[in-house]
Amino acid sequence: MLKPSFTATTTGFTVRFGLDGALLPAGYDSYDLTITFDPTKYRLLNTSYDFVGDLKSVNDSATATGRLVVSAVSSSQKIPATTALGTLNFQTLVSGPLVLGVSRLNVNGFSYVTDSSPLTLNSTSGDSGGGDTTPPLLSSSDPQQNATVSPTKEFLTLNFNEAVVLGTGTIQLKTAAGAVVESFDVTSSTRVARNGSTVTIDPVNNLATGTSYLLSIPAGAIKDVANNNYAGTNLAFATSAGTSDVIAPTLALATPSTGATGVSTASKIVLKFSEAVRPGTGQIRLLGPGGTLVQAFDGNSAGVAIAGDTITLTPTAELAKASTYSVQIPSGAIVDIAGNAFVGIANYQFTTAALAAGELTLTADRTTVNEGGTVNFSLSSTSAAGSVLSYTVSGVVANDMDGTKLAGTLTLSSSRTAKLSIKLKADDLTEGTETLVLNVGGVTSSVTINDTSVASTTPQNLKGSAGAEVFLMTSGVDSVDGGSGIDTAFVNDASTEYEFTRQGGKIFMAQKSSQNIDTLIGVERVEFTDLSVALDVDSGPGQAYRIYKAAFNREPDLAGMGYWISRMDKQMDMIELAQRFVDSAEFRTVYGSKPSNPEFVAKVYENVLGRAPDVAGYNWWVNKMNTDPSKSFAKVLADFSEGTENITALAGQLDDGVQFRPWLG
C-alpha cells in the first residue's frame, strides 16, 4: 500500500493513494480499500482512478457517514507489479487539521493493516480558510407564501439554495388562529423527508376546506451540511372552500376479520376506513373472555397509530390463546377530517389460536368437594413464562363461588405454571349434586360438588378406605371411621357450635345446640364453614403449633398455621421447619438479630418453657452449643419445642385440636 499524499487546492485538497501489486501476496487478484472522513468538516466532491493492468469493475460510494469504499476486481489476471492510483477531491468545510484514516486493506477476504494511525494534514485552504459560515436560504416553497391551494394537497415542500440536513426542533402546522393541527419532530418524525436541498412534509390527514394555515419552522430545525442553521419562517397559506363533506366514514376492512379463528396471539388490530380519519371523543375498548376489559385506546395512547384511512391498535400484552376477544368502538370515537363521526361497532369479535395438543395439563387436588369447601386447580404449559391463558367455569353460577369469576385469565409463572383456587359457598338451597368444570384453552378438569343442604338427620355409620377422604356430616348423630390417610369431616356449620372430647382412640364432637354427639375415629381434620380444625395433634399439626409458639412466643395466626400444616403434611421434617422460623424477621425480633449462645439459651427457656433456666440445664445447653456443631439454633429450638416439659405444658391447649385456615397454594 502506498501512503496517501495530500495537495492543497483553491477550495480544499486532493488525496492520492496507490496500491502496488508487487507488494501483494502472490495469487490475489482483488482488493477493497476503505477510507473514512468526517462529513461535517469535509465534503467529497469527485473521484477518479487510474488503474494499470487488468483491474476492472471499479466502484465507489460515499455516504453521509463519511465512509468511502473503493474496490476493483480482475477479470482473469493477477494484479500486476504496477501501481494502481486513485484521486479523491475534497472541499474543506471548516478550518483546522484534516484527519483521514486509511486503516485496513481487504484482499480476497483477508484483511491487512496498512496504517495503524490516522493521517493528519493541517489545512487552511478552501473558503479562504474560514469554512462555510453562510446559513441556507429558502429559495421557494409549495405552497408559496399567502397562496391558496387545494385541501387535498398531499405534501408541503421547501426548496433551499444549497444542500441541507435536518437539525433539531419541531415543525408545526397550525390554523391561522393558532390551533396546532399536527407537529413534526424533525429528529424522529417519518413524515419529514430531506433530499439534497429539498425538505418535504407529509401531514397525516388532508387539509380542511376553506381554512387558513401557518407552517411554523423554528430556527435550527433545518441546517446546511456545514452546520449553519436555517433562520426559520412562518409560511402562511389557505385552502379553497371546496365542497362541504357531510358523509361519515365507514369501516371498509378489519384485520383480523370479524368472526376469525386461529388468530395469532401477537396480532395487531388494523381498521381500514373509507376515508382518512382522526381520533374523536371516546375510547376504543378491547374486551377479553367474559367481557373483561383488556385495554382501552384513545387518540393519545401509545398503542394507537393512525395513517390516513387506517388505524392500527397494538395491545400492550400478547393476547391469550384459545380466547375470544371483541372490539367496541363507540359512536364519535373516530371521525373523518371534516368531523363526521363513525357510527361505531359493538359486535366485532375474533378468536385466537387454540392450544396445541399436549401444550397444557390441568389437574384438581380432589375429585369431590362439599359446599363451603375449596378446590385447587394446577396447570402447567409449554407456553412461555408470562403467557396469558383464558379460563371459564361452568356447571355453577357466580353466586355459588366466593370471589371467583366465571371467566378470567391466568398468567404463567417463571416455571410456566399457574394455580386457581375456587372456594364454594355453603348455602341452604337444595340443588343436588353439581359438577364444576374448569376450562383453560380447551383443556378441562371437573369436580363433583356435594350439596350440603340436603344432608339428612338420619344417623350415619361411615367407614373409609386407605386414601384421603371427605365425609359429609349430617345434622343427626354420625359415626365415622376414616381409616388411614388424612381424612376430613365436613360440617355445614360454624366451629363455635362444637366442642371436642378425647377418649382413647376416639374423638367425640358435640353440637352445643342439639347436644348431638358424633364419633370420629381416624379422622384427622374437621372443616367448618368458618375455619378448619386439625385433630392429629400428635403429628405434624401439633409439632407446627408448638414450634410456632416456641419461635414467636405467641398464638399462631390461622393462615400461617394452615401454611405450616400443609408443609408438614408434605413430610417437611422438624429441623427444617424450625430453620424456616429461625430465618424469619419475626424470630430476629423476638430473639435478637445476632444472639450469643448464652443469650439464645436464656431466651429459649423464657419463651418456650416460660421460666428462668435452671443452672445445670442452662450450663449443659450452652456447652452443647459451644462444642457440638449439630446443636444449631434450629436444632435447639426444635429440641425444646418437642421436649417432654413443653409437650406436657401445651397438652391442654391441644385437646380441641389446632385451628387453621387451609393453605390454598
State yes or no: cis peptide before 541, omega within 30 of 0: no
DSSP for residue 635: H
Residues of the chain with pLDDT under 50: 1-3, 20-33, 48-87, 89-130, 454
- Strand, helix or coil for residue 132: coil
Closest to 579 (Cα-Cα) out of 532, 637, 625, 513: 637
* 433 three-state secondary structure: coil
User: How does pLDDT run across 239-253, given as a tens digit for each residue?
Assistant: 887 666 778 899 999
Give the helix ranges, DSSP H, for 88-179.
none
What phi, psi does 20 have (nearest 5°)? -95, 115
Distance between CA atoms of 507 and 509, rounded to whole angstroms? Answer: 6
Instruction: Provide the pLDDT for residue 458.
Output: 66
**What order of strands is seen across the sheet that includes strand 417-423?**
360-364, 374-381, 417-423
Nearest to 480 by CA among 493, 463, 458: 463
Residue 38 to residue 64: CA distance in whole angstroms: 9
345-352 and 260-263 strand pairing: parallel
Residue 663: what pLDDT? 81
Tell me how far apart the alpha carbons of residues 131 and 114 are, in angstroms, rounded to a whole number: 31
Contact criterion met (CB below 8 Å) for 49 and 58:
yes
Going by C-alpha positions, the residue among 18, 77, 34, 22 that lies closest to residue 53 is 77
Strand order in the sheet with 198-201: 138-142, 156-160, 198-201, 192-195
Nearest to residue 88, comparing CAs of 32, 159, 137, 17? Answer: 17
Antiparallel, parallel or unpaired: β 345-352 and 324-329:
antiparallel
Answer yes or no: are the C-beta atoms of 184 and 158 closer than 8 Å. no
Sheet holding 104-107, edge to edge: 55-62, 67-74, 30-36, 104-107, 110-113
Angle at 476 between CA 474 and CA 480, to 5 degrees: 65
CB 258 within 8 A of CB 350: yes
Q: Are 188 and 228 in contact (CB under 8 A)?
A: no
* Burial class of residue 608, CB neighbours in 10 A (0-12, 13-18, 19+): buried
- Helix (H) or strand (E) holding 13, with range, is strand 12-20
b/e per residue 368-387 (b: at least 16 CB within 10 A): ebbbbbbbbbebbbebeeeb
**Domains of the chain with bracketed CATH:** 2-129 (2.60.40.680), 138-239 (2.60.40.1220), 251-352 (2.60.40.1220), 360-452 (2.60.40.2030), 455-530 (no CATH), 540-660 (1.10.3130)
Helix, strand, or coil (residue 372): coil
- Residue 665: its pLDDT value, please? 59
Could you tell me where the DSSP H helices lie in 348-445? Answer: none
Contacts of 628 (CB under 8 A, 6+ apart): none
Instruction: Give the residue among 256, 251, 237 at the shortest CA–CA distance from 336.
Output: 251
DSSP-derived 3-state class of residue 89? strand
Q: Is 82 exposed, middle or buried (0-12, 13-18, 19+ CB in 10 A)?
A: middle
Neighbours of 280 (CB within 10 A): 19
The confidence score (pLDDT) of residue 641 equals: 93
Distances (CA, A) of 68 to 62, 195, 385, 497: 5, 20, 47, 92
For residue 649, give the C-alpha cell: 405444658
pTM of this structure: 0.40
Which three cell numbers, joined as nine digits, stand for 211?
381554512
Judge whether 599 and 592 are in contact, CB under 8 Å. Answer: yes
Beta-sheet pairing, 443-450 with 360-364: unpaired
Residue whose C-alpha is closest to residue 257's, from 249, 243, 267, 266: 267
